[in-house]
Structure 1
Amino acid sequence: MRPRPTPSLVLPLLAAILALAPCVARAGAGSAVLRDGDLVAPCGDSLTEQKHYTVFMETYLLACQPAANLRTMQFGMNGDTTWGFLSRLRKNTAPFAPDVATVLFGMNDGGYLPPGRLGDRAERYRESLRGIVGEFRAAGAREIIIASPTLVDPATFKRGDPVEYNQTLDLLAAIAREVAEREGARFADVHGAMKRVMEKAKAAKGAAYEVGGDDGVHPGANGHLVITHTLLKALGCDGRIGTLTWDCAARRAEATPGHRVLSVTDGTLEIESTRHPFCFIAAPPNKPPASRTILDVLPFNEELNSLILVVKNAPAPRMRVSWGEWSRVYTAGELARGVNLAADFLDNPFCESFARLTAAVREKQDYETDAVKIILSSLGTWEKYFPEEQASSALRREKVVKKSVEQQAAVRAALQPVRHTLQLESVRENGVMSRQN
């Protein structure tokens, strides 16, 4: 790992630990933003501390693998502002030496005030964003992504006039774009994406459909999927999980890296995959809208979740594809062009493994919230009243970093290969099925 200008006692320990961590190479890995082994740091206020979009992001980066051996640590704190985060960044975030940071603030920066009553808040937001970019660069971060704030949901927002506060957030979104352009950082238009998706969702599902959550501010899983989509796109993720090509006439199949063909026999294709599609876990009834409920107005699968099956020389005009327990009928032409299994089979053989990985990521991020909000944030007070204990304070930071690295390795180990089976059957005109031989 290249050296970073981080605190002197923390960096040697971090470098030593990471040198022992396994590095999994993959052919063709990498993107315009992410590089193999990067540590990605989502930073923000209570929307980040909610651990919805951050869990989605980390699980995606682990399972879908836009680059190899990616790591994530989230730095979310409820009620936070850009200026609050800036005051702590050097001691609370820089010691972890992130390669890439995403910065999502604004909801609290606006103070829930209409544009005419913002006072100096807009300028303070601008200057704090600039300061955050500078601090991250001083800490060695290669890429900083500034995200515009979300917006409030008019159906549920009760802390003021939703139209007026969205105008305030419009103003802050424009400032975020301006700072990104001025400072040479990347920009993620979360605000614009939330606005477009919210309008489409309410037009299709009714004005009462919640995108901004039951308080109008904190989205449910559906709104957080919009944030995730926008940030992953800003991270350069292209969504190419893999392609499986099956030639029925030749009884032969091949797969792109991350997938291995185990057997092709009697209309059955068996594959082992170390690279997984993103899965959408269904929510229980009477709960906030699940992430999958917004897929009809959000192109997540089309742009970020492409596991393609191509079937050549299908022996019948219509074919039934069974993937594990689930099946769907396609035309031979559709199969020859390629169908997206991840989009067409929301329930699929990866869901169980994906749910276990998601649970492991959430448990890790629960620790990160305590580490950032309680352990690291208290060290400033400790140093204020006991300046002679600086070495003890530095040792505590080292312990927090060490545990974080250990947890990142444990979560990566939770991602196990999945064996799955595809079957092809001809659909005859009289409705009779016949497996391909």
Structure 2
Amino acid sequence: MELPKAVTKGDGRLFLVLFIALVFTLQGQNKIKLKNNDKISFIGNSITQDGRYHMILQSYLTTRYPDLALEVYNNGISGDVADGVLYRFEKDILSLQPDYAFLMLGMNDIQRQLYAEGIEVTQEILKKREEALAHYYSQTTHIVALLKEHAIKPIFLTPTIYDQTAKINQVNDVGCNDVGCNEALAKCAAHIKMLAKENEAPLVDFYDYLNEINHTGQQKDSTFTIIGPDRIHPGDLGHFAMATKIITSVFNPKKLSSIQINAPSNKIALASNCSISGLVSNRKKIKFDVTQEALPFPIPERFKEQKNIVAPLAINEEILKITDLKKGNYQLHIDSYLIGKFSAASLASGIDLSAYKNTPQYLQALEVFELCEAYHNINAKLRTIALIEYKNLKEYTGPDTAEGKRIYLDQELEKQHGKSWYSYLVKMCNSYFKEKPNEEELWKLLTTTRSSIQDKSQPKTHTYVVRKTK
């Protein structure tokens, strides 16, 4: 859209209208519309290998778009940097032939040891910091070029934050003049924003969003952190915040459904994102069948605190409005479930069924989430194999046997003894030898679990009964 070259004072309103239109046009360009059988890759470091944020996102996509058989792949590697992604790009990522790739790097690329607590910030250290950032800029740009070369649409995620403001008992990598890891990550985030703009691609700004949540929380409680006790890796709530930020930034979330019925006239006034049949009503009882186009977005119990830190999502609104009922109280049943008791006035105003976690459609959605979690756990085993092979066995030239690899890895582990990551690496190596023999079966199980997710996400027809109580 081209704006007028000159706008007079009297054209102010026209300019405002055109400007708003331009903003919404650009926003529309940066949204994506998924197609059936689309493949989605998540590329990154340990936060992506952890994968809870894209597990939550997968549960949203599956319940909200049940007609799409989507394939979601974890391509995160713990401790990885842009160089590592380039090294494994063809075999680990391109081999999956993804349609979309969510890209998040930076936490390791900045070389956090250059910002270590108590470090003497010499000219040499400053130079190394700048070199690390310049290399990150260059290599992430290279990754994006490769994605586009292979017709993979990039979706840019700014890095998450390093929490250097929480008052917790954990080493804090902030050097002199309060310049630490988080300031370096701000520069990474600025670069990612620039790449998104240059490529006219979707952007998800984790960095500013998580900083904002942290700032708000720490004003009330200095020990609050949206990240975690190590200042680096988000916990459940952090991953939930990340998932919802993707939903609102990349997709076009809308309300789940809206129903409005006029009881005495037996008339359906509104049926949005659902279909209604078999309506029989009077001023004391209404019965009808509902088939929604989608299921609610499931939010398991362990994420219940999300309401205290993340803005409420309108995407789950499931409005039921019944007007002109006889005054009094009513029970709402969906199938055999008693959902709640409501006054005629509240039903006339409209109740939001998303607030009730006992509806059959919500319980079905929770089953979908459980399957997504099972899928996530299978992916985790495959990523353990990938982690060891793409990082720890990268230089291995011995025989392709478990015995040869075990000897090599034990020697490498001994070199890491005493490091903060030693116990994690020992655990990953042991898991590698446990899971590697099952690799082919794990890929098959991933496929069958994905099919189960698709089957379970299909909406069902439910019978609603609103009956006046005595």
Deviations 1:33-76 (A, max 9, x none): 32233112222222122231111011111111187333312212
Question: Matched residues in 2 for 1:378 and 1:111: separation?
Answer: 22
Which has a greater percent of helix? 2
In the TM superposition, what is the alpha-carbon distance from 1:172 to its structure 2 partner?
1.4
The number of residues matched between the two structures is 379
Please state if 1:45 is matched with 2:70: no
Equivalent residue of 2:238, what SS?
helix
In the TM superposition, what is the alpha-carbon distance from 1:267 to its structure 2 partner?
3.3
Which residue of 1 is the match for residue 226 of structure 2?
211
Asked if the contact 1:33–1:235 (Cα under 8 Å) also holds between the matched residues in 2, the reply is no
Q: Give unmatched runs, 5+ long, in structure 1.
A: 1-30, 284-290, 389-395, 427-432
- Map 1:47-196 onto structure 2 (within 5 A): 47-65=47-65, 68-112=68-112, 113-114=114-115, 116=126, 118-141=129-152, 143-153=153-163, 154-156=166-168, 158-161=170-173, 164-196=180-212
Give identity over the alignment, percent: 18
Please state if 1:301 is matched with 2:313: yes
Which residue of 2 is the match for residue 11 of structure 1?
none
Which residue of 2 is the match for residue 360 of structure 1?
371
Which residue of 2 is the match for residue 327 of structure 1?
340
Equivalent residue of 1:309, what SS?
strand
Q: Give unmatched runs, 5+ long, in structure 2.
A: 1-30, 116-124, 401-437
Asked if the contact 1:251–1:264 (Cα under 8 Å) also holds between the matched residues in 2, the reply is yes
Deviations 1:205-246 (A, max 9, x none): x33334112322222221111110121223323233222232
Letter aligned with residue 301 of structure 2: A
- Map 1:223-234 onto structure 2 (within 5 A): 223-234=238-249
Please state if 1:238 is matched with 2:257: no
Equivalent residue of 1:75, what SS?
strand
Question: Matched residues in 2 for 1:185 and 1:306: separation?
Answer: 29
In the TM superposition, what is the alpha-carbon distance from 1:102 to its structure 2 partner?
0.9
Asked if the contact 2:44–2:104 (Cα under 8 Å) also holds between the matched residues in 1, the reply is yes
Question: Matched residues in 1 for 2:351 and 2:313: separation?
Answer: 12
Equivalent residue of 1:118, what SS?
helix
Letter aligned with residue 105 of structure 1: L
Letter aligned with residue 257 of structure 2: G
Question: Matched residues in 2 for 1:383 and 1:398: separation?
Answer: 24
Distance change in 2, residues 1:75/1:379 (3 Å)? closer
In the TM superposition, what is the alpha-carbon distance from 1:84 to its structure 2 partner?
1.3
Deviations 1:250-288 (A, max 9, x none): 3344644455546555234443446211122113xxxxx
Question: Matched residues in 1 for 2:198 and 2:54: separation?
Answer: 27
In the TM superposition, what is the alpha-carbon distance from 1:338 to its structure 2 partner?
4.9
Question: Matched residues in 2 for 1:327 and 1:264: separation?
Answer: 20
Letter aligned with residue 212 of structure 2: R
Asked if the contact 1:264–1:270 (Cα under 8 Å) also holds between the matched residues in 2, the reply is no
Asked if the contact 1:156–1:216 (Cα under 8 Å) also holds between the matched residues in 2, the reply is no
Question: Matched residues in 1 for 2:348 and 2:109: separation?
Answer: 52
Asked if the contact 1:310–1:338 (Cα under 8 Å) also holds between the matched residues in 2, the reply is yes
Distance change in 2, residues 1:307/1:38 (3 Å)? farther
Distance change in 2, residues 1:207/1:271 (3 Å)? farther
Scaled by the length of structure 2, the TM-score of the pair is 0.69
Q: CA RMSD in A?
A: 3.7
Which residue of 2 is the match for residue 267 of structure 1?
286
Asked if the contact 2:104–2:158 (Cα under 8 Å) also holds between the matched residues in 1, the reply is yes
Structure 1, 127-136 or 249-258: larger mean CA deviation: 249-258
Asked if the contact 2:189–2:207 (Cα under 8 Å) also holds between the matched residues in 1, the reply is yes
Distance change in 2, residues 1:373/1:89 (3 Å)? farther
Distance change in 2, residues 1:147/1:270 (3 Å)? same
Asked if the contact 1:245–1:255 (Cα under 8 Å) also holds between the matched residues in 2, the reply is yes
Question: Matched residues in 1 for 2:441 and 2:390: separation?
Answer: 13
Question: Matched residues in 2 for 1:58 and 1:412: separation?
Answer: 11
Distance change in 2, residues 1:132/1:382 (3 Å)? closer
Question: Matched residues in 2 for 1:263 and 1:70: separation?
Answer: 35
Asked if the contact 1:156–1:214 (Cα under 8 Å) also holds between the matched residues in 2, the reply is yes
Distance change in 2, residues 1:180/1:416 (3 Å)? closer
Larger radius of gyration: 2
Asked if the contact 2:295–2:362 (Cα under 8 Å) also holds between the matched residues in 1, the reply is no
Equivalent residue of 2:224, what SS?
coil
Letter aligned with residue 147 of structure 1: L
Which residue of 2 is the match for residue 411 of structure 1?
453
In the TM superposition, what is the alpha-carbon distance from 1:336 to its structure 2 partner?
5.5
Distance change in 2, residues 1:170/1:90 (3 Å)? same
Question: Matched residues in 2 for 1:216 and 1:231: separation?
Answer: 22
Question: Matched residues in 2 for 1:321 and 1:403: separation?
Answer: 40
Question: Matched residues in 2 for 1:46 and 1:132: separation?
Answer: 18
Distance change in 2, residues 1:34/1:72 (3 Å)? same
Scaled by the length of structure 1, the TM-score of the pair is 0.74
Question: Matched residues in 2 for 1:156 and 1:331: separation?
Answer: 51
